[in-house]
């Protein structure tokens, strides 16, 4: 970096810092109006009280004159309140230390209260047509009891401004905390969405590979008509993938329809050796929401570890049970004893569990087990309102 660039950056930093300080010292119109209203009330109350007192004493009194005279005493208080508030509010994050508060009080008293008391004493002498002749003349013009009253007024004013700045500091801290929590939550949601997108990206190429592999098997077997039918089936499957693959929710009815079409495509490849049995299918499943493309990997898992492992006849069963709380989908396949598992390139059940965790937390589950020579996967998801069918008729 050149010296010119360095100088430019420093000047830019100074400009930004000065601008931020000027911004911090600005007093909002609502705050200024509040202080103006407070001191105007005290000014009017003082003027009217003095006017009433003079009337009761039988002395001549002009309310307009009193208002004009007292105005000169209250304008400095109003200006002081604004300046003190701007100063404390710009440093509100540092006011938690008692030593800083005491220092601010002492500096304010030195810079405002002492000059104000001298100003009032000199003005009193001026209105009386006298000139100051030392400290005693000032004390005679403005007795110490009035000095004490102004000290009490100054302390009350300082305390009120300090309290307002402290309240604003608390509100600002809470606002920053809420903003930080909101940013953290947004970041967490974005990370979860990216993770979900990654999981989906892992699934889709694998699904397409297996579907094309089924069609290529028909082509190699010179079953042209069935291959064309398989391509049509694949087109419908891809349409579903494109429509719901990036959505947060699909419907259980659509997903079951999707895996049924996918298994029909696989049946074209394996013929009578593959038998598919479904139970519990109904139109009501269209109203139950579920993550998109959540069932196909489980069906693919049944194929890979079933007919693709032992090459003999296989029986895949899909059953659905729905209650008020959740929907349970069981997918099982024949598992012959002594046959090794197919290592394959499958997505894996861990991926499905991750997707369920991201979608439902602990409200959903995936369990596996063997029963009577069959490998069974049980998927449980909460019953939620579903989406309309993207596949159509």
Report pLDDT for 12.
44
Pairing of strands 314-322, 289-290: unpaired
DSSP state of 10: H
Task: Encode burial over 272-284: b for 16+ CB neighbours within 10 A, e otherwise.
Answer: eebebeeeeeeee
DSSP state of 272: G
Q: Are 329 and 317 in contact (CB under 8 A)?
A: no
Domains of the chain: 23-184 (no CATH), 201-274+281-382 (3.30.565.10)
- Distance (Å, rounded) from C-alpha 373 to C-alpha 268? 25
Q: Which residues pair with 378 in a beta bridge?
A: 330, 367
Burial pattern 359-380, b for ≥16 Cβ within 10 A else e, equals bbeeebebeeeeeeebbbbbbb
Question: Phi, psi at residue 327, to the nearest 5°?
Answer: -115, 135
Phi first, then psi, for residue 203 (nearest 5°) are: -75, -45
Dihedral-angle region of residue 71 (phi above 0 means left; psi in -120 to 50 means alpha; beta otherwise): alpha
Give residue 116's pLDDT: 86
Residue 312 near residue 336 (C-beta atoms within 8 A): yes
pLDDT in 10s for each residue of the chain, 393 residues? 444 444 444 444 444 344 444 444 466 787 788 878 888 888 888 888 888 888 888 887 788 888 888 888 888 888 888 888 888 877 766 666 788 888 888 988 888 888 888 888 888 887 777 777 777 777 777 777 888 888 898 898 888 888 888 888 888 888 888 888 888 777 666 666 665 555 455 555 666 776 777 788 778 777 778 788 878 877 887 777 777 766 778 889 988 988 888 888 888 777 788 888 888 888 788 888 888 888 888 888 888 777 777 667 788 899 999 988 899 999 998 877 666 565 544 456 787 888 888 788 889 999 988 887 788 999 999 986 544 444 433
d(Cα 312, Cα 230) in Å, to the nearest integer?
Answer: 22
pLDDT at 287: 84
Contact 273, 314 (CB under 8 A): yes
- Distance, in Å, from the CA atom of 265 to the CA atom of 263, rounded to the nearest integer, reads 5
Q: What span, in angstroms and rounded, lies between the C-alpha atoms of 198 and 131?
A: 87
Residue 343, pLDDT score: 56
- Give me the pLDDT at residue 263, please: 86
Which string of b and e fits 105-129 if b means at least 16 CB within 10 Å? Answer: beebeeebbeebbeebbbebbeeee
Q: What pTM was estimated for this model as a whole?
A: 0.48
Q: Is 314 left (phi over 0), alpha (psi -120 to 50) or beta?
A: beta
């Amino acid at each position: 970096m050149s010296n010119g660039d360095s100088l430019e950056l420093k000047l830019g930093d100074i400009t930004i810092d000065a601008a931020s300080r000027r911004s911090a010292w600005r007093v909002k119109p609502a705050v200024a109006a509040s202080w103006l209203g407070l001191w105007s009330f005290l000014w009017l109350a003082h003027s009217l009280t003095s006017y009433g007192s003079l009337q009761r004493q039988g002395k001549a009194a002009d309310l307009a004159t009193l208002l004009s005279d007292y105005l000169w005493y209250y304008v400095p208080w109003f200006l002081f309140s604004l300046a003190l508030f701007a100063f404390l509010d710009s440093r509100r994050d540092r006011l938690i230390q008692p030593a800083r508060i005491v220092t601010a009080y002492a500096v304010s008293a030195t810079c405002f209260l002492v000059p104000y008391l001298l100003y009032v004493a000199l003005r009193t002498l001026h209105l009386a047509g006298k000139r100051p002749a030392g400290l005693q003349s000032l004390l005679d013009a403005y007795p110490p009891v009035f000095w004490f009253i102004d000290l009490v007024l100054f302390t009350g004013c300082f305390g009120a401004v300090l309290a307002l700045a402290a309240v604003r500091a608390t509100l600002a801290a809470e606002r920053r905390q809420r903003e930080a929590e909101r940013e953290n939550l947004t970041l967490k949601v974005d990370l979860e969405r990216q993770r979900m997108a990654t999981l989906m990206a892992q699934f889709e190429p694998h699904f397409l590979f297996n579907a094309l592999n089924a069609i290529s098997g028909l082509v190699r077997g010179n079953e042209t008509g069935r291959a064309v039918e398989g391509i049509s089936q694949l087109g419908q499957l891809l349409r579903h993938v494109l429509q719901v693959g990036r959505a947060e929710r699909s419907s259980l009815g659509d997903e079951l329809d999707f895996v049924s079409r996918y298994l029909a495509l696989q049946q074209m490849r394996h013929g009578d050796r593959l038998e598919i049995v479904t139970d519990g299918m109904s139109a009501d499943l269209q109203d139950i929401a579920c993550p998109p493309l959540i069932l196909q990997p489980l069906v693919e898992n049944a194929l890979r570890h079933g007919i693709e492992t032992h090459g003999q006849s296989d029986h895949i069963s899909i059953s659905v049970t729905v209650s008020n709380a959740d929907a349970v989908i069981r997918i099982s396949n024949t598992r012959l004893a002594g046959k090794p598992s197919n290592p394959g390139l499958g997505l894996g059940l861990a991926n499905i569990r991750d997707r369920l965790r991201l979608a439902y937390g602990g409200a959903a589950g995936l369990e596996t087990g063997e029963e009577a020579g069959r490998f069974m996967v049980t998927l449980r998801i909460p019953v939620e309102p579903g989406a309309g069918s993207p596949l159509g008729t």
